[in-house]
């Protein structure tokens, strides 16, 4: 059996050597070797095709700016010559005011993406060690997304004139996001037949991947499996959507709810709409995703909704995720509860003690 084991080990070693030889031969035929390969060559020919196959189309699309930044920063350097100093300087640049000055969260994502790319280079045996692991990671940090209160939202919609068709669209857009809490790319993917007017329900089953008005994909799935959901709509929202459907029908056949030209709405357009009306109404400027946060705040602070209901409407896979993102919104909810607790417990004390003290207790009389 020892002899058989030796044969197996020798065969495994020979197979490994042959695999390395074939791989190096392929690399040589493409104009570079392991030692001459630049970071850009590694990214374009090896890492990006792998990464694209591992993540969703949406994730790959949103990571493009970070991936392009990495290629610009390290592209011309040989993969094997990237040093600790290079990595540390990059980390500093991401966070410093004189550098990229990115937010803690985005700097963490970008630096983490770089680390993962080098880790894959190690697994593919282009590198022996991941040099970036010797530099401290950038913590994600705690970011609290800005949002509108009910009062803020009322100020905003009071400054919208729905007699104008485009302003009517702006009103419907803001109302829909504020009152349903859908993700930005879930809202832009909504078709008119996603609304069931008789049941007063909105079906969320698609996600929009868009780079321009004419270059987009309406994916038949959401960010997570739990994102596939049905949201109950209130009577006001049903009425608003009915009126918009009538007015939008005058354009002809339009599938998208949030559209004025039959094409889906761009996220940048939504951001401009929010910024414009925030300025006019004198309320905080928030990001597009801040409307989802606003819905969570509305449910919690105005309707005293439980974490289970909030989690279901937002399409989270568990209440724990909801609490991770929105726990701070429940901070004042217990004040009303505390006031109701007063007087509920009947306070009555014994006239004589029933305890026999032993030892050296110090008693205050």
For residue 274, pLDDT beyond 50: yes
Question: What pLDDT, on the 0 to 100 scale, is given for residue 30?
Answer: 55
More confident residue, 20 or 352: 352
Please report which confidence band the pLDDT of residue 31 belongs to, taking 50, 70 and 90 as the band edges. Answer: very low
Tell me the mean pLDDT in the region 23-42: 69
Inter-residue contact 211 to 297 (CB < 8 Å):
no
User: Residues 6 or more apart from 219 whose CB is under 8 A from it?
Assistant: 56, 57, 58, 189, 206, 207, 208, 209
Predicted confidence (pLDDT) at residue 5 exceeds the cutoff of 90: no
Is the predicted pLDDT of residue 29 greater than 60, yes or no?
A: no
Q: Any idea which residue has 């020979």 for tokens?
A: 14
Query: In the chain, pLDDT over 90 holds for what percent of residues?
Result: 55
Lowest model confidence (mean pLDDT) among 5-19, 50-64, 303-317, 322-336: 5-19
**Tokens in use for 73?**
């920063």
Mean pLDDT within 283-299 = 94
Tokens of 119: 């880790």
Is the per-residue pLDDT at 364 higher than 60?
no
pLDDT-derived band at 283 (thresholds 50, 70, 90) equals: very high
Instruction: Output the pLDDT for position 341.
Output: 81
Q: Which of 66-70, 104-108, 109-113, 321-325 has the lowest mean pLDDT?
A: 321-325
Instruction: Give pLDDT, residue 245.
Output: 95
Mean pLDDT score, 142-146: 73
Q: Where is average pLDDT lowest: 241-245, 329-333, 361-365?
A: 361-365
Lowest mean pLDDT among 122-131, 280-289, 355-364: 355-364
pLDDT at 270: 96
- What's the burial of 319, exposed, middle or buried (CB within 10 Å: 0-12/13-18/19+)? middle
pLDDT attached to residue 264: 92
Q: Is the pLDDT of residue 337 over 80?
A: no
Which residues neighbour 164 within 8 Å (Cβ) at sequence distance 6 or greater? none
Tokens (6 digits) for 341: 């607790």
- The CA distance from 238 to 52, in Å, is 40
Predicted local distance difference test score (pLDDT) of residue 160? 96
In this structure, of 74-83, 161-170, 299-308, the range with the lowest mean pLDDT score is 299-308
Mean pLDDT of 297-301: 90
- Mutual orientation of helices 267-281 and 150-157 as an angle, nearest 10°? 90
Least confident stretch, 38-47, 176-185, 247-256: 247-256
Cα atoms in the 13 Å half-sphere on the side-chain side of 19? 8
Quickly state the pLDDT bin for 24 (edges 50, 70, 90).
low
Q: What is the pLDDT of residue 4?
A: 62
Mean pLDDT (the chain) is 87
pLDDT in tens, 151-188: 999 999 999 999 999 999 999 999 999 999 999 999 99
Whose structure tokens read 């939008």? 248
On whether the pTM is more than 0.85, the answer is no
State how beta strands 195-196 and 229-232 pair.
Answer: unpaired
């Amino acid at each position: 059996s020892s002899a058989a084991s030796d044969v197996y080990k020798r065969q495994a070693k020979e197979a490994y050597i042959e695999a390395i030889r074939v791989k190096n031969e392929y690399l040589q035929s493409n104009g570079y070797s392991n030692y001459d390969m630049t970071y850009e060559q590694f990214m374009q020919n090896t890492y990006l095709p792998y990464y694209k196959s591992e993540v969703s189309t949406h994730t790959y699309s949103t990571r493009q700016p970070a991936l392009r930044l990495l290629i610009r920063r390290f592209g011309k350097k040989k993969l094997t010559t990237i040093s600790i100093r290079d990595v540390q300087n990059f980390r500093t640049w991401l966070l410093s005011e004189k550098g990229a000055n990115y937010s803690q969260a985005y700097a963490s994502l970008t630096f983490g993406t770089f680390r993962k790319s080098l880790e894959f280079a190690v697994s593919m045996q282009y590198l022996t060690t991941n040099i970036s692991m010797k530099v401290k990671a950038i913590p994600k940090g705690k970011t609290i997304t800005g949002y509108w209160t009910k009062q803020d939202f009322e100020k905003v919609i009071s400054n919208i004139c729905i007699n104008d068709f485009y302003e009517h669209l702006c009103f419907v857009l803001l109302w829909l996001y504020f009152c349903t809490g859908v993700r930005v790319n879930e809202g832009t993917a909504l078709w008119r037949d996603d609304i069931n007017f008789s049941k007063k329900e909105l079906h969320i089953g698609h996600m929009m991947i868009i780079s321009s008005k004419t270059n987009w994909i309406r994916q038949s799935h959401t960010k997570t499996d739990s994102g596939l959901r049905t949201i109950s709509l209130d009577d006001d929202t049903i009425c608003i959507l009915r009126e918009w459907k009538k007015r939008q029908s005058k354009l002809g056949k339009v599938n998208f709810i949030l559209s004025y030209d039959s094409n889906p709405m761009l996220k940048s357009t939504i951001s401009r709409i929010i910024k414009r009306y925030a300025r006019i109404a004198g309320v905080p400027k928030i990001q597009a995703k801040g409307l989802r946060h606003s819905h969570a705040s509305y449910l919690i602070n105005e309707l005293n909704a439980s974490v289970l209901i909030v989690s279901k409407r937002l399409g989270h896979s568990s209440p724990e995720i909801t609490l991770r993102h929105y726990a701070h919104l429940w901070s004042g909810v217990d004040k009303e509860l505390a006031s109701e607790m007063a007087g509920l417990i009947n306070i009555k004390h014994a006239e004589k003690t029933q305890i026999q003290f032993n030892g050296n207790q110090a008693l205050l009389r």
